[in-house]
């Protein structure tokens, strides 16, 4: 894996505006999701004498390191530099491109039942502005401050996912959003998605009280089962393994990078 760039770079924060389908012509992948000031030495810190932070991230992304509650203190800077740097965007681009190549290769029937499931946070929308302000290694998840951020409704799109979304629609594939956000956040989530370019979808599924106490795997498996029993053939992309594990996962799943937090 390429090392993070060791030089100081500065990118301006891109403004994401919902437009008509003409926005499909924009080079979405070149848009920026947060002010970037990576520092030298991002890959040099260690969790212990034997395991580097890069190796820790590999373990997280391959689901070999599970049930962790926070980024190791020694790796907070590394994770921040990765998320705000070019490598995170490149990794996301590779995943989104492979997802599109798979979708394009299918012999799609024109019956309206082809559906692609997108997770929301760190898949369709990026919360990097929040984490850049609050840190990447918080000891305990602060639901109050995060929910306050969500209710602002200003999360930018992850550009690679938005590009994939546009391309899937052009192939005639419908889109559903399946998120762990609660029903109380439906209106702000709808508005946020539309404002950054996700202007149409088949379903927006949020977690209601029926699933209280259930894991994300159980909740999302159940909702995917409902979709398949309704006749949909599904593809699936998310940043958490809990988006992709369980039952009724679809014909193919695609995992976006996210070493910031773990959801079971």
Q: In order of start, what are the domains of the chain with their CATH numbers?
A: 21-255 (3.40.50.1000)
**CB count in 10 Å sphere of residue 242:** 21
- Predicted local confidence at residue 84, as pLDDT: 93
| CB contact set of 156 (below 8 Å; sequence gap of 6+) | 14, 16, 33, 34, 125, 126, 128, 129, 196
Joined tokens for residue 84: 């705000």
- Predicted local confidence at residue 55, as pLDDT: 93
CB 205 within 8 A of CB 176: yes
- Predicted local confidence at residue 260, as pLDDT: 95
User: Rounded to an integer, what distance in angstroms lies between the CA atom of residue 160 and that of residue 156?
Assistant: 12
pTM for this entry: 0.83
CB 262 within 8 A of CB 68: yes
- Predicted local confidence at residue 1, as pLDDT: 33
User: Rounded to an integer, what distance in angstroms lies between the CA atom of residue 185 and that of residue 183?
Assistant: 5
Q: Are strands 253-255 and 114-118 parallel, antiparallel or unpaired?
A: unpaired
Task: Provide DSSP, 201-231.
Answer: -SEEEEE-GGGTT--HHHHHHHHHHHHHHTT
pLDDT in tens, the chain (264 residues): 333 333 223 232 333 323 333 333 345 445 777 765 544 444 444 455 335 899 999 999 999 999 999 999 889 989 999 999 999 999 999 999 999 999 999 988 889 999 999 999 999 999 999 999 999 986 656 889 999 999 999 999 999 999 999 999 999 999 999 999 999 999 999 999 999 999 999 999 999 988 988 999 999 999 999 999 999 999 999 999 999 999 999 999 999 999 999 999
């Amino acid at each position: 894996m390429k090392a993070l760039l060791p030089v100081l770079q500065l990118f301006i924060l891109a403004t994401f505006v919902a437009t008509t389908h003409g926005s499909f012509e924009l080079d979405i992948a070149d848009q920026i999701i947060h002010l970037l000031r990576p520092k030298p030495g991002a890959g040099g810190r260690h969790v212990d004498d034997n395991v580097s932070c890069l190796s820790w991230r590999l373990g997280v992304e391959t689901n070999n390191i599970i049930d962790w509650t926070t980024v190791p203190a020694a790796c907070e800077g590394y994770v921040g530099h990765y998320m705000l740097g070019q490598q995170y965007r490149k990794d996301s681009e590779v995943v989104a491109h492979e997802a599109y190549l798979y979708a394009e290769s299918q012999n799609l029937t024109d019956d309206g039942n082809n559906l692609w499931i997108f997770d929301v946070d760190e898949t369709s929308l990026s919360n990097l502005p929040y984490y850049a302000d609050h840190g990447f290694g918080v000891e305990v998840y602060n639901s109050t401050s995060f929910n306050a951020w969500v209710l602002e409704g200003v999360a930018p799109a992850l550009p690679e996912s938005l590009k994939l979304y546009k391309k899937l629609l052009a192939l005639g594939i419908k889109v559903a959003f399946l998120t762990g956000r609660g029903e109380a956040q439906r209106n702000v989530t709808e508005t946020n998605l539309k404002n950054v370019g996700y202007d149409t979808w088949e379903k927006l599924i949020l977690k209601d009280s029926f699933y209280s106490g259930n894991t994300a795997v159980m909740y999302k498996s159940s909702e995917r089962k409902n979709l398949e029993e309704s006749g949909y053939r599904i593809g699936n992309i998310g940043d958490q393994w809990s988006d992709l594990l369980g039952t009724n996962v679809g014909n193919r799943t695609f995992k976006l990078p996210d070493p910031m937090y773990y959801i079971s």
